[in-house]
């Protein structure tokens, strides 16, 4: 499916959902940090969860470029709803790129069609960004693997539409990072359970919980791709995820700029709009310029990913720059709002926490600098 041929229709569909359904319906969920089950179902009914993926399994085939467009449009209304989308995209990308046709038919097709969503089980309590140091074990036993371990920060897990998690585990301990493999673990499997949800400063409507695997038995057919390819798979999926995190940052920065501009035009100081004063106008001009730069960076990184060209460094650069911009834009927009900006009743107040989360997820800013620096020193 040609991307350019469907971009206008995709933009229209996502914008219409964001304007007509998400904008008026998300407020109550933000206030009580609750998962927006009905809105997720409506979004799924539009087939938008499958934007990026293989049409042979119910997707639209628009790749990372299409997913980035969807992400940005959602984030411009509510960044934490966009987080639900991109955190489902991680397990979906893993299946789309590496799984057998049987696994795709069982899990990717219904996910693309909006019948349920998935989550990603990677980060562990002791390890953080150190993927190669994963301790969750998958022991071969007859026709099954038996998984034991724990994961943290698994977004979407334990919510009403959640039906499966993709779990990264050690299958060959003697091979270090090359001994990792990935598995589909269905919700309801004996020994598979979730911790309680906790409120966060950002991604307020996107539940993030712990996963517990106590001798969870899954068939060998649930192995995604080849045994031992887990590290390579996860690094690729995380690189895609960083592009989508950048797209959240872009949407958030645009929202912050819009709010600052609308408020600043109405607010008077010494007989003139406050935006006529360079101290406030010039920082917004810088933000507008950086928004344009991030848009181009996302387009380039997504193109590389879709064309099968190495893109890990570009995705790290894009995520680093976009998350910094999001925090800068949120801070400056609050500054333009003055005292009003710190009250929850104003939309701008919640953007600071949402922006800060982007500097942490899918690898911290420090981790992105490490990736970029290593490439410079090669």
Residue for token digits 């620096």?
373
Q: C-alpha dihedral over 279, 282, 286, 288, to 10 degrees?
A: 120
Residue pair 14/73 in contact (Cβ under 8 Å)? The answer is yes
Strand partners, 121: 167
- The dihedral through the CA atoms of 302, 304, 306, 312 has a sign that is negative
Residue pair 131/235 in contact (Cβ under 8 Å)? The answer is yes
DSSP 79-119: HHHHHHHHHHHHHHHHHHHH--HHHIIIIIHHHHTTS-EEE
Q: Is there a catalytic annotation at residue 42?
A: no
Residue pair 164/186 in contact (Cβ under 8 Å)? The answer is yes
CA distance 204 to 207: 7
Q: Is 20 exposed, middle or buried (0-12, 13-18, 19+ CB in 10 A)?
A: exposed
Angle between helices 79-98 and 230-266 (to 10 degrees): 160
Residue for token digits 């409120």?
199
CA distance 158 to 169: 20
Q: Using the CB atoms, write b or e for 159-181: b if 16+ within 10 Å.
A: bebbbbbbbbbbbeeeeebebbb
* Structure tokens, 55: 């049409």
Strand partners, 152: none
Among 371, 370, 363, 366, residue whose Cα is nearest residue 123 = 363
Residue for token digits 């140091």?
133
Catalytic residue of the set 31, 362, 366, 375: 362
Q: Quick one: how far is CA 314 from the chain centroid?
A: 17
CA distance 356 to 374: 25
Positions marked active-site: 362
């Amino acid at each position: 499916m040609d991307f350019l041929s469907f971009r206008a229709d995709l933009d229209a569909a996502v914008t219409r959902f964001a304007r007509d359904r998400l904008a008026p319906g998300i407020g109550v969920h933000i206030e009580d940090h609750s998962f927006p089950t009905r809105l997720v179902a409506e979004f799924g009914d539009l087939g938008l969860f499958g934007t990026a993926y293989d049409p042979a399994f119910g997707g639209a085939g628009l790749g990372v470029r299409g997913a980035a467009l969807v992400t940005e449009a959602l984030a411009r209304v509510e960044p934490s709803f966009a987080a639900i989308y991109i955190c489902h995209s991680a397990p979906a990308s893993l299946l789309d790129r590496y799984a057998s046709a049987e696994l795709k038919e069982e899990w990717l097709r219904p996910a693309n069609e909006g019948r349920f969503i998935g989550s990603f089980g990677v980060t562990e309590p002791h390890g953080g960004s150190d993927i190669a140091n994963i301790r969750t074990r998958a022991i071969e036993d007859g026709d099954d693997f038996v998984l034991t371990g724990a994961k943290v920060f698994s977004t979407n897990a334990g919510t009403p539409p959640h039906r499966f998690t993709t779990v990264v585990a050690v299958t060959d301990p003697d091979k270090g990072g090359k001994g990792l493999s990935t598995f589909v673990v269905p919700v309801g499997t004996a020994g598979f359970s979730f911790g309680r949800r906790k409120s966060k400063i950002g991604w307020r409507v996107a539940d993030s919980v712990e996963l517990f695997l106590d001798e969870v038995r899954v068939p060998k057919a649930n192995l995604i791709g080849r045994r031992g390819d887990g590290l390579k798979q996860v690094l690729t999926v995380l690189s895609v995820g960083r592009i989508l995190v950048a797209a959240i940052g872009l949407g958030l920065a645009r929202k912050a700029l819009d709010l600052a501009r609308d408020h600043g035009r109405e607010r008077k100081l010494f007989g003139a709009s406050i935006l006529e004063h360079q101290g406030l106008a010039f920082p917004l001009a810088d933000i507008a310029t950086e928004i344009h730069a991030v848009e181009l960076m996302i387009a380039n990184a997504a193109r590389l990913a879709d064309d099968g060209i190495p893109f890990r460094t570009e995705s790290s650069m894009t995520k680093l720059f976009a998350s910094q911009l999001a925090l800068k834009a949120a801070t400056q927009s609050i500054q333009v709002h003055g005292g009003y900006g710190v009250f929850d009743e104003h939309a701008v107040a919640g953007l600071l926490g949402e922006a800060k989360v982007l500097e942490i997820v899918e690898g911290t800013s420090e981790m992105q600098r490490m990736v970029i620096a290593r490439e410079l020193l090669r």
